[in-house]
Amino acid sequence: MSADITKLRGRVAIVGAAESDELGRLPHKSSLQLHMEATANALADAGLRKSDIDAVFTSGRNMANDVPEYLGIRPRFSGGTQVGGCSFILHVEHAMAAINAGLCEVALITHGESGYSRIAMPAPRWGDDSTNNQFELPYGTSGPASGYGFLATRHMHTYGTTSAQLAEVAVATRKWAALNPKAFARDPLTIDDVLNSRMICWPFHLLDCCLVTDAGGAVIVTSAERARDLKTKPVYVLGTGECATHMMVSQMPSFISWDAARISGERAFRMAGVKHADIDVAEFYDAFTIVPMLALEELGFCKPGESGSFVSDQRTAPGGDFPMNTNGGGLSYTHTGMYGIFTIIEAVHQLRAECGLRQVANAKTAICHGTGGTWSAAATMIVSTER
């Protein structure tokens, strides 16, 4: 890469971040309403008006034009990149590029999904002649729960990682959820609870799997200059990175490493110029317990194969020395189907010290990371209150 990507460091800031009015099981709300609530809340958070928005980024089953129509916005810059649940983290990178190119100034990144209630959700449909229906679905795959396990099985085989180590993640994340009034699942959980929960797709038990909920989330990104004039403390984007490697999990380049995550992280750290020790809080997409463990390895917080011991003894729980998924994550807080936006929202709220009982003390720099599809894409973002 010839361009000096460090020039992008700190050039844009996240100035608004909010969820929909409610999260959980919402049979009375459509996916588009969830977009709209989150957008209204994020604008109020930023102290901006809808007319200030000139760029809209969204992803999911809704297209990049039906969301703006519902919201009553006419974007002059549209972003509809869809690589799965991490897309919204990519959208920050894309918004940063567009803002720095002078093509827009105030970007809305919005997510709304009636993931559980399925209200006004366009139907998924793989054609009978799609690659997916020819080479994976005939073997009885059940979406992410079957696809994500291949890497867990190979990790266990290669490194001796155990189901109890995976369960550590679920238990630690539930402890954070207990501190978050908006979290869906807040009852205490033990390692044995996870191991004794019914098998969904070996090696995943029910409690290794994320929730399925209805929710929306939105963030507002603008230039660092404009951010200075707004009412919230700017959360500067120091570094971003992304990579996509496949759609069908059978085409994953490796089942022992997660190349997309490593590549996305390398760029984000290089752009940000921060060290791992500078990271105060981590928000990692936890579709399944193994996913944030692989993120820890590929982003360089531990060596390949060492995530099992890294997460042991509740290291990522409240009071541990590595605060991770402080909202309760996709495992216990909310998971609509595309969780990535919520990693950003929680990082922003942590850095603005608005998190009440779950607030990480003196959090200045956070890392967000997400998976998309079935280990198919990854995005990393480092944000800070300091430029």
Partner 1 sequence: MADTYTGPVPKPTPETKPFWDATKQHTLKIQRCDDCAQHYFYPRPLCPHCLSRNVAWVAVSGRGKLHSFVINHRAPRGFPAAGPFIIGIVELDEGVKMMSNIVGIEPDPKLLRCDMPVEVVFEDITAEITLPKFKPVIR
CB of 86 to partner 1, least distance (A): 22
Number of residues that bind partner 1 (CB under 8 A): 35
Please pick, from the candidates 78, 131, 162, 385, the single residue that binds partner 1 as defined by CB under 8 A: 131
Q: Is 333 a catalytic residue?
A: yes
CB contact burial 169-194 (16+ within 10 A = b; e otherwise): bbbbbbbbbbbbeebbbbeebebebb
Stretch that binds partner 1, among 194-202, 220-228, 311-319, 341-349 (CB under 8 A): 194-202
- For residues 202-221, which are near partner 1 according to CB under 8 A? 202-204
Q: Which of 76, 122, 199, 273 binds partner 1 (CB under 8 A)?
A: 199
148 annotated active-site = no
Q: Which is nearer to partner 1, 76 or 135 (CB)?
A: 135
Q: Which residue's CB is nearer to partner 1, number 136 or number 242?
A: 136
Q: Please identify, using beta-carbon distances, which residue of 138 and 319 lies nearer to partner 1.
A: 138
Pairing of strands 377-384, 365-372: antiparallel
Tell me 84's DSSP state: S
Q: x/- contact string, 82-121, with partner 1 (CB under 8 A)?
A: ----------------------------------------
- Identify residues 157-186 at the interface with partner 1 (CB under 8 A): 157-158
Q: Per DSSP, what are the bridge partners of residue 110?
A: 58, 218
Cis preceding linkage at 203, omega within 30: yes
Closer residue to partner 1 (CB): 203 or 241: 203
- Closest CB to partner 1 among residues 198, 362: 198
Rounded CA-CA distance 368/253 in Å is 23
In terms of CB distance, is 181 or 202 closer to partner 1? 202
Tokens coding 48: 């901006």
Instruction: Given the residues 70, 148, 236, 333, select the one marked as catalytic.
Output: 333
Residue 277 CB contacts under 8 Å (≥ 6 apart), including other chains: none
Q: Which residue type occupies 335?
A: H
Helix axes 340-351, 87-100, angle to 10 degrees: 70
Comparing CA positions, the residue from 112, 27, 12, 32 lying closest to residue 72 is 32
Q: Active-site residue among 148, 236, 285, 339?
A: 285
Residues 132 to 161 in contact with partner 1, rule: CB under 8 A: 133-142, 145-146, 149-151, 153-154, 157-158
Full DSSP string of 281-338: EEEE--SBTHHHHHHHHHTTSS-TT-HHHHTGGGTTSTTSSS-B-TT-IIIII---S-
Cβ at position 218, least distance to partner 1 in Å: 33
Q: Which residues pair with 369 in a beta bridge?
A: 284, 380
Q: From the CB of 128, what's the least distance to partner 1, in Å?
A: 4
Length of the chain: 387
Residues 6+ apart with CB under 8 A from 149: 201, 202, 203, 204, 288, 290
| Binding to partner 1, residues 223-252 (CB under 8 A) | 248-251
Which are the catalytic amino acids? 285, 333
Per CB under 8 A, residues contacting partner 1 are 127-129, 131, 133-142, 145-146, 149-151, 153-154, 157-158, 198-204, 248-251, 255
